[in-house]
Structure 1
Amino acid sequence: MKGLNKVMLIGNLGKDPEVQTLEKNIKVAKFSLATTESFKDDKGQIHTLTDWHSIVLWRGLAELAEKYLHKGSTIYIEGKNKTRAFEDKQGIKRYVTEIIGEQVLMLDKKES
């Protein structure tokens, strides 16, 4: 049996995408995405929880992000969860979990 690694999020960019051009002119864009959930407690008070996600887009999606996405943009994104390890400047092994985007839909209303 195969596994499934699928993430679907709707949220707002926390900052403008940081875009880099790598060798062979391959672009990569990175940004944070906030997703917010609201719920009522037993006393009827509304509480809001915000989670932050690290998003990585490659090639054509990175170009789309560079041209059209900015802090506050609302997007729908589909992708997969990836955790990678790296060593920080002190030589300590660190881990970061990112969403590798495979599809992006811009949900902002068009300006008239």
Structure 2
Amino acid sequence: MSLNKVAISGNLGKDSELRVTQGGTAVLTFSVAVNERRRQQDGAYQDKANWIDCVMFGKRAEGIQPYLRRGSKLALTGHLNQNKYEHDGKTYSRIEVVVDEVELMNTRRETQQPEAAPAQPSEPAISDAGIPF
């Protein structure tokens, strides 16, 4: 038995890119920065970003694309896929995560567009009569 399952969380480095194949399948690509904190010889810690290439297909890819913007924090699960291709007579290999599930981790306020200034709160219409304090 083999197991091919990946779970990561991180931030997008740039907006996701959506394209459609000749067959009509939506393909969404994006890279997730997963930070790894390493202790240096002097005792200080330094963060190192590992960039993970991800791909998502179909209607779900089209639906989530508007929400995957630079800086968005997300968690995802999927499986690894190795692509091999040739260029100028050399064979190259690339591993990416094929996304099965994705969860946006930004708070609601972070994902909303800025709104107009809130209206001034009005005074309550309740009188002080009958309130013991």
**TM-score interval, smaller chain:** 0.7 to 0.9
Alignment coverage as a number of residue pairs: 110
Are residues 1:46 and 2:29 paired? no
Are residues 1:106 and 2:117 paired? no
Q: Which has the higher contact order (CA 8 A, sep 6+)?
A: 1
Amino acid at match of 1:96: R
Structure 1 segments of 4 or more deviating over 4 A? none
Q: Percent identity?
A: 27
Q: Which structure's residues are more often strand, by fraction? A: 1
Amino acid at match of 2:36: E
Cα distance in 1, alignment partners of residues 13 and 59 from structure 2:
21
* TM-score, with structure 1 as normaliser: 0.87
Which ranges of structure 2 fall in alignment gaps of 5 or more residues? 113-133
Which string of whole-angstrom CA distances, capped at 9 and with x for unpartnered residues, describes residues 40-76 of structure 1?
A: 4465311212100100011133113322111111110
Compute the displacement of 1:38 (Å): 1.8
* TM-score, with structure 2 as normaliser: 0.75
Look up the match of 1:57: 56
Note the 1:23-42 alignment, pairs <5 A. Answer: 23-41=22-40
Secondary structure of the residue aligned to 1:25 is: coil
Secondary structure of the residue aligned to 2:108 is: coil
Look up the match of 1:93: 91
Which ranges of structure 1 fall in alignment gaps of 5 or more residues? none
CA RMSD after TM alignment: 1.7
Amino acid at match of 1:97: I
